[in-house]
Amino acid sequence: MNASTPALEVRGLVKHYPGVKALDGVDLIVRQNEVLGLAGENGAGKSTLLKALVGLVTPDAGEIYVRGEQVKLRSVVDAADHGIGMVFQEQSLVPNLTAAENIVLGSEGAAVRRGVYRWDTMRRLAQEQLDKIGSDIDPLARTDTLTFADRQMVEIAKVLRIEERSQHPPVIILDEPTSVLESKEIETLFAQIRRLREFASVIFVSHRLDEVLDVCDRVTVLRGGQSAGEVATAGAEPGELHRMMIGSTGSDDHYHENAAAPVTAAEPRLSVRGMSGKTFHGIDLDVAAGEIVAIVGVHGSGREDVCRALFGAEPTTAGEIRMDGKKIDLPGTRAACAAGIGYVPAERKIEGMVGPMSVAENMTLTKQRARCTGPFVAPRKQAGLVDRWIERLSIRTPGRDTAIGRLSGGNQQKVVLARWLVAGDIRLLLLDHPTRGLDIGARSEVYRLMRELAASGVATVLLADSLEEAIGMADRILVMNDGRVAAEIACPSGGKPSPLDLVKEMV
Amino acid sequence: MRFTARPAAAIMSLSLAAAVLAGCSEQAAGGNDAAAEGACQPSDVRLVGQVRNESNPYEASWLAGGDAYAKSVGLTQERLTYDGDSTKQQEQISQLLAGDTKCLVMNVLPNGDSDTAPIVKGADQAGAYLVTQWNKPADLDPADHRTWVSHITYNGVESGQQIGDALATAIGGNGGIIALQGILDTAAAKDRFAGLEASLKKNTGVKLLDQQAANFSRAEALTVTKTLLTKHGEHVKGIWAANDDMALGALEALQQQGLAGKVAVVGIDAVPDAVKAVQGGTMTATVSSDGAWQGGIGLAIGYCVATGKLAVKDIAAANRAFFAEQFLITKDNAADFVSPKTNPADFECANVFNRVAGPLT
Amino acid sequence: MSIPVALQPATVSAKARPARRLTGFMPIIALAVLVAALTVADPGFLTQRSLTAASRTAAPLIVLAAGATLVVLCGGIDLSIAALASLSTVLLALWLPDLGGLATPVVVLVATVIGAVQGTAHVLLRIPSFIVTLGGLSILSAVALVVSGAGTVRVVDDSAVKWLDLYVGGYVPMSFAVAVVVVALIALVLRVTPLHSWISATGYSESAARLAGTPVDLVKVGAFCVSGACAGLAAVMLVSRQFSGGPTMADNLLLPAVAAIVVGGTAITGGHGSVWRSLAGALVVTLLRVGLPIVGVPSAYEQILYGVIIVVAVALTLDRSRVSIIK
Amino acid sequence: MTVTAGVTAAPRRRTRRGAAFRDAGPPVALVVIFGIFAALSPQFRSVDNVQNIVDAAAVLAVVTCGITFVLMMGSIDLSAAGVMGAAALTVSLLVANNRNDNDFGLLGILVAVLLGCAFGCLSGLALVLLKVPSFMATLGVSAVGLGVATLLFAGVQPNISDTMLKGWAIERFLGFSYLTWIAAACVLVGWLVQRYTRLGRYAFAIGGAEEVLTLSGVRVKPYKIAVFALAGAFYGLGGVMVTSQLGAGLVQAGDGYDFSAITAAVVGGTLLTGGRGGVLHSAVGVLLVMVLTNGLVQVGVSPYWQGGVEGLIVVAAVAAAVIPQRRRNQVVK
């Protein structure tokens, strides 16, 4: 193998699922010591391709070459033996083990002799990996006591173990590593990726195209299970990538700002005074009908808890909440629902939806009046209602009885949103990272939906995925810092603040 | 299995309709008539012995006795065990009675007093010959029934009192004792304890320090005894146990506390280990109840009636429900009981009531 | 895009669907196979009389299992059903002389209230249902012992519960008919009201259900109420059969009831299953408990067979496509 | 690059303090309950009685040790009763006894423990290969164990005359019976296994996040089987110890130990959902349960009420441990 042999090459990979051709002859080349970006909309085949690269999916046809040699990857272990490892999007660490154990898990080597642990050796081995990425985490700390970013470092350290295992420069796959990170943590991660490039090849996957352009040397775009093209990042524009992903020119008005209706209501729909809880204190917040208010803040600023408290899912110790001038009490989520408040949680798979249940059932879980006659479910009424909303939100599903877990992320999110809309009595929507893990197309549809709802008079509180999203969508932005509201910044269409204005208040 | 509402509704309406149309009957249709009394050929007789389980020595010897008797008349005994589970016993009986009951003879150990009534009722309806042992509520009398031939038990009050007296003598008529009770919900446990109380009234020098339930179990008796020994320390001069299993558990406890031989122990049932212990002097006394004989005699009485050698109406009222003979076993006579022997002659139809000690009181 | 860490169950293809339907009918198939096997072992077993007796025997277990199924569907477990049924038999036996026919509804009501108390403790104190009901089991047993004076309470005049001993149309025991009606009623109510989605959602993913505004706590307390009521009703059946109430009468029905639920194919982790499945499961378990000794299997082998068959039956009936990790 | 909606993250250590509090709960409860009984009854606080409590805890401690590993994985094990019965009969028929001429001594004990191990393997295999939930798999194995025990029993109680085995329950060292020392050794071994072996750590990890282990290339199945086998071995030893105490092999040797052991483990702070707790927690739980049982007898609570009071206190103990960490929207199964 010489320096120009690709570290990893994929030729004509094909994978069929019943009814879908997930991969339709994908080609991919990862050079040595290169950071390759992988972009593509949901359903473009990224997920299947990555699974094939770490042995979780067996392709129907096509070849995979590692350092010029053709290989068959049957399992994660197989892939690791060939020097390919992946940092999973949903973190794959065992929470109740130490960081060191997680790092060496599955390839303990000298750390375990005849089934018996050598804690000293393990600590040393783990430290070696952590040193590679310059992390100062205590290897013997329990993983669930670490911060999210630290855990990601542990995960990278864990993947780097395959370097020892395969005796070759590894290929590291990072699947959506930034989706839950705050900006400072992202900076650290990017520094890390650049450091990795010194001795490894990296495949970097993200929905945030600017990030892809920022950290990668080259980007391969997938579309419809095929390679749609390749872009060198130097001088490339996000718009160009976007066009390649969707196959046509994307809308410039990403946040549908021209659909934003001016807020006219004089009385605030939601009015919060002096609300305090475990992680937040003296919160004042007003949201008018039709207004979108974003709350931004660093990790630990308490904004998630404020959002949950407004839904009755987090206890408050003081304060007053009024809806349309009427004082309400929120002892639990039921009371919030009754008051016309809806909540879309950040953890969609765990908190947002019930995976094995059907689209129809998920959509009608909350509002019974819409599907019932008296205390009884009226099957026809329910079917009509659900079909109407499937059409209205253009949810792509084989049918209303399909389990929601089988839909793509964007469609799942639309069903979760529809849950609050079916009864037509929604007055306040709390959106906690509503676009997390969605691709550009799906995001855009969620944004459009938010605009429509606002136009129809729904008040919205948004915890955005990024500052740009907050700025793009909100009419007003509240900045939270250490459990208190640090600043309130108007954010009208045409007079948007810059991200830096917000950051100043956040720290 | 996703039934839609419609079949569910159908089932409901069907069952309701059936109820309305056909009306309800007291008894399942297709019941077979009981054979005329005594009309069975000896080879047609079906012998069934039912006890709690096969995993304790007393009941195992019961079943062995039943087997031996069945063999002596050229039949085999069907063994049923119900793990001390009242509902399971009822379920087995009702399933058994749903089969061929023409010449069925059952020798049953009801789990508790209350379990006797439904067994008797079922047997009566099906015309199966029934002998029950040990447990029966006082107001239920075989004399009022056609096929409930007899009820056999031992006088628990008497045995409880006998060993209580023996214990009092052993500790010199003075001092504290502790009592280990059986399963509180059984007549045996209550009668035996009543016997102890009677004995205590007589032996005023003996003081009952404490009483705890150990559920006839050797293991529970061990733990309870240990705790009570610690609680009352040297005041404990004797241990009264409602059966031998618990007495043996208490012996182990004494041994583990280093008190072996210093505290007198009495029990009831004369299981082989206990008799040996009495013989060896570690235990003071026990009372005989003869499992092998019980297992055989119940079948024998039923068999004699079924084959016509004995007519129910000829059986004296005193023999329809009786106390069987029992003996207090002490060191003096223990040797006679070490290897219990059953005399085949006891099971001859003319002799089946030889061991009657008296009518139930 | 995401690659979920948990390997998701493969998409059900058209080919897999008949197999899936087959697992749905597995409890019934298991039942049929068992009856066939027992008949082969003892040809006298398959008679109308013996099936009638078996169905009568199964009635209390069916009712117990049906009630507890709701708790299991919610993702919990109710270990107190048997002890509660025992206590109910005692109460019924004690109250029958005074209350007569009224005793039955009163006992069922009391059992419901006790179920509600346990459910409330589970929900409000946030104690796992396993622990709450384990504690409930000991407490209820103790109460039953004290109330009954640790003895059996006989029912001399059983006219008020005698109707359960009748036979519908001469063949179907009334208690079995009542059990089937109870199951049908529960199934019907679940089907035509939002309760079905609420219970499933609670069982599959409690946090998602709660954040969707489902009355999770109410649903759970309700499930415990139904479980309690069913225990009370099972107690009435037992009293009508045994003419007495006892503080330990139904205690040994706990594990068979749980076995019935699981053999029926209801996932013990919650969400997936139905009361109809428990009906079939209860019949299987009853046949095992009663049928094996009757066809002449010796006691020791009976236990071994029971253990093996239960495990195999569960292996057959479990719909594994719904549960990714089996604990 | 994008400036995202956050800058720094202050590390939150709250969970850690919560964990320490959680772990301290059961020992504190133990001390408190002991204190209450000691105040109520002078007999209770006697040295003899403390010895008695510890001795009485021996068997339960061994069984709980085994069950803890299973609970740590998030599974449940109800097979103790059957496995202990089978082991008790096996050992009593293999050491010097009144039924046959065998006199294998230690070897007999080893065989009984291995038999327990084999039963554990059966549970594990049913779980892993047949995918039967452990609740049912172990229930089935328990029935099989009882059946085997009944077969071996064959109607005559085997009384042991092996002096060594009988001596375990009688001989004392430093005031405690040998059985107690064996139990202490088991707890120590259990703790070492949990802390220092791959088996123990993986059992812990399986309870934490089983799917992650699979993704990391760990073959989970053999470890699951091994954990059940380990638990079975502990039950086997428990059966042997009961036999030593009773001087005879009883089919019912393990009656009630399944639920008692689970109760003890849970009271000690092991979660039924897995991933938390451990052998030392369970040891505390066992002492807690034994102190309670003994104390109730000592203060003279009616035997009728004892079970009820125990149940109430167990619920209260768990509630007390849970309430400080109560949150809204918490999942409790």
Task: Return the pLDDT at B31.
Answer: 46
Nearest CA among A133, A135, A127 for reference residue A111: A127
Task: List helix spans (H) across B308-349.
Answer: 317-320, 334-337
Provide the pairing of β-strand B328-329 with B175-181. unpaired
Q: Token digits for C185?
A: 């009623």
Task: Return the pLDDT at B26.
Answer: 65
Which CATH number does the domain housing residue C142 bear?
1.10.3470
CB within 8 Å of C226: residues ≥ 6 apart = C67, C70, C112, C115, C186
Distances (CA, A) of A38 to A42, A420, C1, C261: 12, 35, 11, 49
Provide the pairing of β-strand A61-66 with A69-71. antiparallel
Cross-chain Cβ contact C60/B31 below 8 Å? no
D312 contacts D263 by C-beta, under 8 angstroms: no
> Which residues from chain A sit within 8 angstroms of residue D199, using beta carbons?
115
CB within 8 Å of C326: residues ≥ 6 apart = C320, D127, D131, D132, D133, D134
Q: How far apart are the first and last CA of chain C?
A: 29
Task: Return the pLDDT at D311.
Answer: 87
Q: Is D134 on the interface with C (CB under 8 A)?
A: yes
The rounded distance, in Å, linking the Cα atoms of D188 and D192 is 6
Q: Is D309 on the interface with C (CB under 8 A)?
A: yes
Q: Is A121 on the interface with C (CB under 8 A)?
A: no
Q: Token digits for D306?
A: 């004892």
D220 contacts D213 by C-beta, under 8 angstroms: yes
Same domain, B46 and B137: yes
Interval D180-220: pLDDT, tens: 999 999 999 999 999 999 999 999 999 888 888 888 888 89
Q: Is D277 on the interface with A (CB under 8 A)?
A: no
Tell me which residue range forms the domain holding D40.
26-318
Structural domains of chain A sorted by starting position, each given as residue range(s) with its CATH number in brackets: 84-167 (3.40.50.300), 257-340+427-506 (3.40.50.300), 356-426 (no CATH)
> Which residues from chain A sit within 8 angstroms of residue C7, using beta carbons?
56
Residues 66-85 of D with CB under 8 A from C: 73-76, 82
> pLDDT over 90 for what percent of chain B?
44
The rounded distance, in Å, linking the Cα atoms of B359 and A227 is 99
Chain C residue set in contact with A, beta carbons under 8 Å: 1-5, 7-8, 11, 13-14, 192-194, 197-198, 200-201, 204-205, 207-215, 217, 271-272, 322
Task: Return the pLDDT at A4.
Answer: 76
Of residues C204, C210, C215, nearest to A356 (C-beta): C204
Residue B288, strand partner residues: B269
> Which residues from chain A sit within 8 angstroms of residue D6, using beta carbons?
182-185, 296-299, 301, 506
Same domain, B124 and B172: no
Same domain, B136 and B188: no
Same domain, B309 and B283: no
The rounded distance, in Å, linking the Cα atoms of B43 and B311 is 19
Residues 174-203 of B with CB under 8 A from D: 181, 184
What SS3 class is residue A467? helix
Nearest CA among D286, D287, D229, D235 for reference residue D262: D286
Distances (CA, A) of C231 to B80, C53, C84, C114, C238: 28, 21, 6, 10, 10
In a domain, B33, yes or no: no
Binning chain B into helix, strand and coil, the percentages to the nearest 5 are 45, 20, 35
- In terms of Cβ atoms closer than 10 Å to its own Cβ (0-12, 13-18, 19+), residue C18 is exposed
- In terms of Cβ atoms closer than 10 Å to its own Cβ (0-12, 13-18, 19+), residue B6 is exposed
Residue A416 — φ and ψ, nearest 5°?
-60, -40
Interval B48-59: pLDDT, tens: 999 988 888 888
Same domain, B137 and B71: yes
Same domain, B146 and B162: no
Q: How far is CA C108 from the centre of its chain?
A: 16
- In terms of Cβ atoms closer than 10 Å to its own Cβ (0-12, 13-18, 19+), residue C314 is buried
Residue A64, strand partner residues: A10, A71
Cross-chain Cβ contact D251/B55 below 8 Å? yes
Nearest CA among C178, D247, D211, A263 for reference residue B248: D247
C311 contacts C257 by C-beta, under 8 angstroms: no
Residue A205, strand partner residues: A38, A175
Query: What number of helices (H) and strands (E) belong to chain B?
Result: 12, 14
> Which residues from chain B sit within 8 angstroms of residue C260, using beta carbons?
none
The rounded distance, in Å, linking the Cα atoms of C173 and B24 is 9
Residues of chain D with pLDDT under 50: 1-18
Q: Token digits for C145?
A: 């012992």
Q: How far is CA A439 from the centre of its chain?
A: 9
Cross-chain Cβ contact B226/D251 below 8 Å? no
Q: What tens-digit pLDDT sequence spans chain A (507 residues)?
A: 566 788 899 999 998 876 567 788 899 999 988 999 998 876 678 888 998 998 888 899 999 999 888 999 888 888 888 889 888 876 688 988 999 999 988 878 888 888 898 999 999 999 988 888 878 889 999 988 888 788 888 888 888 888 777 778 889 999 888 766 777 778 888 888 888 888 889 999 887 778 888 889 999 988 878 888 888 888 777 777 777 776 654 445 678 777 777 777 678 899 999 999 988 999 999 999 999 999 988 767 888 899 999 999 888 999 999 999 899 998 888 899 989 999 999 888 888 899 889 999 999 988 888 888 888 888 888 999 999 999 988 888 888 898 898 888 888 999 999 999 988 889 999 999 898 777 777 888 899 999 999 998 899 999 987 777 888 899 999 999 888 999 999 888 878 888 778 877 776
Same domain, B261 and B347: no
Pairs of residues, one from chain A and one from chain D, whose beta carbons lie less than 8 Å apart = 154
Determine the longest span between alpha carbons in chain D, in angstroms.
Answer: 85
Q: What is the ipTM of this complex?
A: 0.84
What's the structural domain count of chain D?
1
Q: In this predicted model, which residue has the larger pLDDT, D232 or C26?
A: D232
Which CATH number does the domain housing residue D161 bear?
1.10.3470
What's the structural domain count of chain B?
2
Tell me which residue range forms the domain holding B220.
156-287
Mutating which of B113, B114, B135 best tests the C interface, going by the most C Cβ atoms within 10 A? Answer: B114
| pLDDT grade for C14, boundaries at 50, 70 and 90 | very low
Chain D residue set in contact with B, beta carbons under 8 Å: 43, 46, 48-49, 52, 55-56, 149-150, 153-157, 159, 169-170, 177, 242, 245-248, 250-253, 255, 294, 297-298, 303-304
Cross-chain Cβ contact C167/B29 below 8 Å? yes
What value does the CA radius of gyration of chain C take, rounded to a whole number of Å? 20
Interval B39-85: pLDDT, tens: 788 888 999 999 988 888 888 889 999 999 999 999 999 999 988 88
Same domain, B47 and B139: yes
Residue D43 is given by DSSP the state: T
In a domain, B34, yes or no: no
| Number of residues that make up chain C | 327
Q: Cα distance from D222 to chain C (closest Cα, Å)?
A: 14
Q: Cα distance from B6 to chain D (closest Cα, Å)?
A: 32
Residue A202 — φ and ψ, nearest 5°?
-130, 135
Q: In this predicted model, which residue has the larger pLDDT, A138 or B35?
A: A138
Of residues C148, C180, C191, nearest to B11 (C-beta): C180
Nearest CA among C168, C171, C180 for reference residue C63: C180
In a domain, B88, yes or no: yes
Provide the pairing of β-strand A459-463 with A218-223. unpaired
In a domain, B37, yes or no: no
A477 contacts A489 by C-beta, under 8 angstroms: yes
Query: What number of helices (H) and strands (E) belong to chain C?
Result: 13, 4
Task: Return the pLDDT at D202.
Answer: 93
Same domain, B304 and B192: no
Q: Token digits for A298?
A: 């660093």
Residue B25, strand partner residues: C167
Nearest CA among B295, B315, B293 for reference residue B305: B315
What SS3 class is residue A73? coil
What's the structural domain count of chain C?
1
The rounded distance, in Å, linking the Cα atoms of C174 and B19 is 9
Same domain, B129 and B185: no
B284 contacts B330 by C-beta, under 8 angstroms: yes
> Which residues from chain A sit within 8 angstroms of residue D202, using beta carbons?
none
Nearest CA among C58, C44, C283, C31 for reference residue C173: C58
The rounded distance, in Å, linking the Cα atoms of C108 and C102 is 10
Q: State the CB neighbour count (10 A cutoff) for residue C13.
A: 10
| pLDDT grade for C2, boundaries at 50, 70 and 90 | very low
> Which residues from chain C sit within 8 angstroms of residue D75, using beta carbons?
327
Q: Cα distance from A384 to chain D (closest Cα, Å)?
A: 32
Which chain D residue shows the shortest CA-CA distance from B58?
Answer: D155
In a domain, B146, yes or no: yes
- What's the one-letter identity of residue C277? R
In a domain, B12, yes or no: no
Task: Return the pLDDT at C1.
Answer: 37
B269 contacts B40 by C-beta, under 8 angstroms: no
Residue A270, strand partner residues: A287, A323
